[in-house]
Structures are given as structure tokens and as C-alpha cells.
Structure 1
Amino acid sequence: MSDPILFEINDNIALITLNRPGKLNALNYALIEHLMAALDTIETDDGVRAVILTGAGERAFSAGADIHEFSGSVRQGRDTAIRDFVRRGQAMTARLEAFRKPVIAAVNGLTFGGGCEITEAVHLAIASERARFAKPEIALGMPPTFGGTQRLPRLAGRKRALELLLTGDPFPPQQALAIGLVNMVVPHDELLPAARQLANRIIRHSPRAVGSIITAVTRGLNMAIAEGLQVESEQFAALVPSHDLGEGINAWLERRPPLYRGG
């Protein structure tokens, strides 16, 4: 059997590919576990500064959860379904959302259900003009369970999100761009180069500052503004004694490029 994900590192960027093209890269439990293990490896590797996540094949980023597998958990009852399916999926999207290195989805095709929830959770996303999105869980008689009822309204607004969640209708990448689900739409052949270009625009900066910004934004979105400002202050305070802040300031004063350390 093929590995459920493919994983390679080049020029400080890790490329993770969801690798079940015959199943439209559906998210079975093994794929989720392998993805989480890859993130564990990347997190402690100072040679990796950014992550690009995409799907294998020409048809799909991910068509969502593996219905054949999770239906077995549902048949075993509520506790099993929550433990094996919901908690596993929510842990995956929460891990992607809170990851201290930028994660960019390169959305190359169908992005339904759990695939859309991954796109909602990651920090940035670029869509191919061939991408198609949908929140089809309602057609199965259920809500999204990997965070879709919470993250999509925060991105798109309540009414626009509810229309997508309650109808299950597919929508094109231009609509995904308009509602804030993706950052840009590019020709299909330019998808991975565009994702790498965006990653390189980020990793030229201090890795510690990048991580601090991601943490402050991710945590602050779920707080009142006063609490969020405290998180922002804490993230800055942690950088005050660091090499990166001192180097960034000195480089600016001396009109030269900064020399940041890894990790």
C-alpha cells in the first residue's frame, strides 16, 4: 500500500502531499495520524521554516472524511464516533491552526468537507482555478465535525457561512477568495510555484517573529480585544531578549539585510 502522505523538504520548505488519489485523498484515520506525525517532525526541525500542504493527483485536494471508515465508528455508537472520528479530526485542524510555522494549503482540486476544514484551519491558502469547494456534511444528516461550524463563520461571516453549511452546495475558487477562505486563485500549473513564492516571502523574516504573529492571531481571535492585546504583549516580551529582535533592529539601523538564526 502507498504511504498515506508524501513528505519532502527543499530549501527550508516542507511539502506534505495527501496521498490517496484513488480515493480523492479522503481523510481516513491512517492519513490523519501520518499527517500529525509529519507535523511533529517539522516542528522540531530548525531547517524547516514553512509548510505547503497539497493533494496527490489531478482531481482533489481532499474530498473530506473517509465515509466508509467513519460510518463504522458511527455504527459502534456515540462514544466511539466521538473518540475515533470527531476528536481525531478536530485535533488535526487545531494542530494545523496553532502550528508555529506557517502552513500554506495549495488547493489543487475538490476540497469538500474535511478538506475544506483543513483549508479553513491553515494559516494561508492558494487555490488552483480548478479547485471546487463544498460543505456537504448536511447531505449525510450531520454538521461538520472538524471545526467547520466554527472557523468558516469567523472567516466568511455568519450569514455567508450558514448558506454554505445549510445548503451543501459547491462553490468555485473565486467565491472562496471573496469570502476569505483562500488568499489567491492562480492557474493550475502555477499553484505550487505560487505557494513556494508565498512561503519564501515569509521565511526571509525572523522565524521567531513569524511564530509569535501566528500565535497572537490564532489565540486572539477567540478572545476579547483586551485579552488579545495581552497575548500580543506577551509574544513581544518573549522576543525582547532574543537574537532575532536585536538583529532585526540593528540591521535596520545599519541599512543591511538581517541575519536570522533558525527556529
Structure 2
Amino acid sequence: METVMSHLVKYEQKGAIALLTLNRPEKLNALNYATNDRLLELLASIETDPTIRAVVLTGAGERAFSAGGDIHEFTESIKAGVDIAVREFCRRGQIMTARLEAFPKPIIAAVNGIAFGGGCEITEAVHLAVASEKALFAKPEINIGIPPTFGGTQRLPRLAGRKRALELLLTGDTFSPQRGYEMGLVNKIVPHDALLPAAFDLAERIVRHSPLAVSRIITAVTRGINTTIDEGLLIEREQFARMAATKDVHEGLSAWIARRTPTYTGA
């Protein structure tokens, strides 16, 4: 079982960056339950590995980032009953995207092709995203009579605005990476062959900074974005207070004053 699970998401470490590749290209990298579980296992390992400072997440093959949930698999869950379907399919997917969203190290989606349904929801949840010019997005769940279940009814409106999100959610129409960029779903569109280099370049521009400061910023934004401005400012102060006593702050200040490159230890 472990061998099968390990094959579903490929893992490579390139310096301080982990590359995770959804690896079911024959199924357009559809997110079956085992793939979701394996992704969570890898994130748990990466979180506690001090040598890894950022994550790039992409899809295997030339056609898809991920076509979304494995329809054949969750159809069986739905046939087994509502409670089972909610537990096995909906809750599992929401746990996965929430983990991506709140992960303390930056996660960059490198969207190499189709990102439908759950694949689009992963793109919504991660911190940053670079899209190939060959990428194609959709919220097609309405075509099979269900709403999005991995957070798509909540995160897309927060990114794109209510009316633009509802148009996509209610029609199921595909949309281009350019429209995804205009809506704030992706940060950048690049030629297909430049996708992974662009994602790694973005990661490298982040990991040169204090990993503690990076984590504090991610936490402040993730927790604060769904609160009032007053509550968000309190979260910001809390994250600053957590940083103020660290060695990284003193190193950053000393390096700036001395006009030298800082050496951060994550302490």
C-alpha cells in the first residue's frame, strides 16, 4: 500500500525547495482519496524538515495539473449514503485545501494544464500560483449536479469577487489563464517550457528571507483575511511580537545597518 501511495505524489528536494508532483497522468491527475491522503502525509513531513523552506506543486504529464476529484470513486461514496459521502469526499477535500492554505511554508502551484474542480480549488488555496500559457481552468461541478466541495464556493468569491465567481460557478464554463490572472487566481502566466523555472525563481526570491518572518506573514494573512480589520490588526501585532524576540530579527537589522547580506538561521 505504501508503494502505491508514494507513487501518487512524487517528491523531490531541490536545495531548499520541495517539488511535489500529482502523479496520475493517465487520469489527468484526478484527486482520488489516496492522492489527497498522500499529499497530506508529505506536507506533514515537509513542515518539520528545516532544510525545506518552500514547496512547488505541479502535475505530471503534458495535459493536466489536476482535473479535480475522482468522479468514479466519489460516485461510490455518494451511493453509500450522504454521511459517508460527506466524510470520505467533501470533508477530506476541505481538510486538504485548508492545510495548503494555512501551511507555514509558502506553496506555489505551477499550473501546467487543466485545473478543473479540485485542481482549481488547490490553485485557489495555495499561497501563490504560476500558470502555463497552456493552463485551462473551470468550476465544472454544476455539470454533475453538485456544488464545489473543496472550498471553491468560498475561496473563489474572496479572490475574484462575488459576481465573477458566481458566473463561473453557475455556468461551469472554462476560463483562460489570462482571466485567472485578472481575477487574482494566479500571479503570473509564462510560456509552457518556462513554468517550473518561473515557479522555482519565485520560490528562491522568498527563501532568501527569514523562514520565521515568511511563516508569520502567511499566518497573519491567512487568519486575518476573513476577519474584521480590527481583528486582523490584532493578528498582525501578535505575529510581530512572535518575531521581535527572534535571532532572525536581530540578524536582519544588523545586516541592514552594516549593508551586508543577512544569514538567517530560523531561530
Q: Which amino acid aligns with 2:12?
A: E
TM-score, structure 2 as length reference: 0.97
What is the CA deviation profile of residues 165-190 of structure 1, one whole-angstrom value per residue up to 9, with x for unaligned ones?
Answer: 00000011111001000000000000
Pick aligned residue for 1:131 from 135, 147, 167 = 135
2:264 corresponds to 1:260:
yes
2:164 corresponds to 1:160:
yes
Q: Is the 8 A contact 2:248 2:266 kept in 1?
A: no
Q: CA deviation at 1:235?
A: 0.3
2:150 corresponds to 1:146:
yes
Pick aligned residue for 2:249 from 234, 239, 245 = 245
Q: Is the 8 A contact 2:220 2:232 kept in 1?
A: yes
Quote the Cα distance in structure 1 between the aligned partners of 2:47 and 2:262.
23
Q: Is the 8 A contact 1:156 1:181 kept in 2?
A: yes
Q: CA deviation at 1:9?
A: 0.5
2:225 corresponds to 1:230:
no
Q: CA deviation at 1:53?
A: 0.1
2:80 corresponds to 1:45:
no
Task: Give the unaligned 5+ runs of structure 1.
Answer: none
> In the alignment, which residue of structure 1 is the partner of 2:68?
64
Q: CA deviation at 1:11?
A: 1.1
Could you list the structure 1 runs, at least 4 aligned residues long, displaced by more than 3 angstroms after superposition: none
What is the CA deviation profile of residues 144-174 of structure 1, one whole-angstrom value per residue up to 9, with x for unaligned ones?
Answer: 0000000000000000000000000001111
Residue aligned with 1:3, SS: helix
Pick aligned residue for 2:7 from 3, 8, 13 = 3
Pick aligned residue for 1:95 from 99, 116, 121 = 99
Matched residue count = 263
User: How do 1:103-122 residues align onto structure 2 when only pairs under 5 Å count?
Assistant: 103-122=107-126
Q: Bigger CA drift: 249-258 or 129-138?
A: 249-258
> In the alignment, which residue of structure 1 is the partner of 2:77?
73
State the Cα RMSD in Å.
0.8
Q: CA deviation at 1:81?
A: 0.5
Q: Is the 8 A contact 1:14 1:48 kept in 2?
A: yes
